[in-house]
C-alpha cells in the first residue's frame, strides 16, 4: 500500500478558453444569469477569470504482486483547481433608488476524483536496491465536480445585503493512463518511488446538480426603461447539461453562435444570429494531461 502525492495538469482547454474570453459564456453560470438591465450587459456579467492550472494531486494505491514481473494496481486520487476573479459592477437595486456600484467575486471550483484499475510490468529489478516499471491504468473513472459562484456585496444607505448565487454540476468520464516509474527499496518493507503518467480522457456530459438563485430576485424590479428582458435564459434545473456559447449585447442579449453573415460569408459587425433559448455547445472538460507523483510504499 502506498501514499501518493504529486502534481496533475489537466488540459481543460475549452473551460480555460471560456474563463478568459468575455465573449464566451457558460449559460448556466450564475454570473451570466444576474438580473438583466442596460447597465449590466453580457460583456460585464461575463467576468474574466484566470485559467485553472496544475495543482497538487494525492491519493492511495494498493498493489498486489501476482508474479515477479506483473502487479495488479488500484489507485484512488483527488485533485482540486480553482479560479477566482473580482470586480465592481454597476446595477439597479429597485425602482426608487439610483444605480449603485457593487463589488463582485466570482469563483470557479473544480474537483476531480480518479479511480484506476491497472497493472505494472517490471522492466528491471534489483531486490536489494529497487526497480523500474511501466504503469498502465487500463480502466479509469474520473468524477468531475464543478461549482460556479457569484457573490455580490451591496452596501448603501438604503440597502445592505449579500447576494449569493451558485450552480453545481457533475460529470463522469472513462479514462486511461500510461506511465513509467521506479522505486528505491529503503528497507524490505518500505520504499520511495517516483512515477510519471499521461492521462487520456474527457468528460463531455457535465450536468447540473443544484442551482441556488440570486437574492436579487427577491427585491422590487428596477425602472422599466433600464430593463433588458428579451431572451432571458431559463434558470438551470437539475439534469440540464452545461452549455456555452459566444454572446454579445445590443439592445437585447442574444446567443451569437454563429454570428450573422452577409452574402459573401463575412461576419457582420455588431450583429447576432439569434438562437433558441438554451442553445449552445455542450461544455467538455478535457482531462488529458500529465501526472507526476512521488510514492511512499509499505509492503506486507
Q: What is the pLDDT of residues 69-88, one digit of tens each?
A: 999 999 999 999 999 999 99
Q: What's the domain count of the chain? A: 1
pLDDT of residue 149: 95
Please tell me the number of Cα atoms within 13 Å of 245 on its side-chain side.
25
Q: Is residue 133 part of a domain?
A: yes
Calpha distance 250→42 (Å, rounded): 9
Q: How much is the average pLDDT of 4-23?
A: 93
Asked if the bond preceding 258 is cis, omega within 30° of 0, the reply is yes
* Cα separation, 275 vs 5, whole angstroms: 46
Dist CA 207 CA 236 (whole Å): 10
Beta bridge partners of 133: 122, 181
Domain extent for 176: 2-295
Beta-bridge partners for 115 = 76, 141
- CA 86, CA 107: separation in Å to the nearest integer? 9
Which grid coordinates are listed for 283? Answer: 461544455
Cell of 228: 433588458
In the block, cell 531486490 appears at 127
Residue 10 — very low, low, confident or very high, per pLDDT cuts 50/70/90?
A: very high
Q: Position of cell 518493507? A: 189
Domain membership of residue 300 (yes or no) is no
Give per-residue pLDDT as tens, 254-299.
Answer: 445 455 455 565 555 444 444 444 467 899 999 999 999 999 999 9
Q: Please state, in angstroms and rounded to a whole number, the distance separating the CA atoms of residues 32 and 195.
A: 41
**Residue with more model confidence, 39 or 10:** 10
Amino acid at each position: 500500500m502506498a501514499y501518493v502525492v504529486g502534481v496533475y495538469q489537466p488540459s481543460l482547454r475549452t473551460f480555460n478558453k471560456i474563463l478568459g474570453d468575455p465573449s464566451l459564456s457558460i449559460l448556466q453560470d450564475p454570473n451570466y444569469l444576474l438580473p438583466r438591465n442596460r447597465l449590466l450587459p453580457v460583456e460585464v456579467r461575463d467576468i474574466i477569470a484566470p485559467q485553472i492550472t496544475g495543482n497538487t494531486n494525492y491519493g492511495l494505491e494498493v498493489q498486489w504482486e501476482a508474479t515477479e514481473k506483473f502487479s495488479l494496481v488500484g489507485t484512488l486520487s483527488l485533485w482540486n483547481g480553482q479560479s477566482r476573479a473580482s470586480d465592481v459592477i454597476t446595477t439597479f437595486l429597485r425602482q426608487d433608488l439610483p444605480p449603485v456600484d457593487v463589488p463582485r467575486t466570482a469563483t470557479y471550483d473544480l474537483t476531480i476524483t480518479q479511480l484506476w484499475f491497472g497493472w505494472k510490468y517490471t522492466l528491471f529489478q534489483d531486490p536489494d536496491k529497487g526497480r523500474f516499471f511501466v504503469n498502465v491504468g487500463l480502466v479509469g473513472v474520473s468524477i468531475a465536480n464543478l461549482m460556479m459562484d457569484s457573490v455580490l456585496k451591496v452596501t448603501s444607505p438604503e440597502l445592505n445585503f449579500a447576494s449569493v448565487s451558485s450552480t453545481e454540476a457533475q460529470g463522469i468520464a472513462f479514462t486511461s493512463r500510461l506511465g513509467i516509474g521506479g522505486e528505491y527499496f529503503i528497507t524490505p518493507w518500505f520504499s520511495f518511488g517516483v512515477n510519471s503518467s499521461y492521462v487520456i480522457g474527457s468528460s463531455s456530459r457535465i450536468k447540473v446538480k443544484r442551482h441556488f438563485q440570486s437574492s436579487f430576485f427577491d427585491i422590487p424590479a428596477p425602472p422599466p426603461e433600464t430593463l433588458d428582458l428579451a431572451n432571458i435564459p431559463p434558470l438551470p434545473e437539475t439534469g440540464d447539461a452545461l452549455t456555452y456559447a459566444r454572446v454579445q449585447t445590443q439592445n437585447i442579449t442574444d446567443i451569437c453562435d454563429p454570428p450573422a453573415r452577409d452574402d459573401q460569408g463575412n461576419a457582420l459587425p455588431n450583429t447576432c444570429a439569434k438562437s433558441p433559448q438554451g442553445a449552445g455547445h455542450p461544455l467538455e472538460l478535457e482531462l488529458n494531461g500529465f501526472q507526476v507523483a512521488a510514492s511512499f510504499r509499505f509492503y506486507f
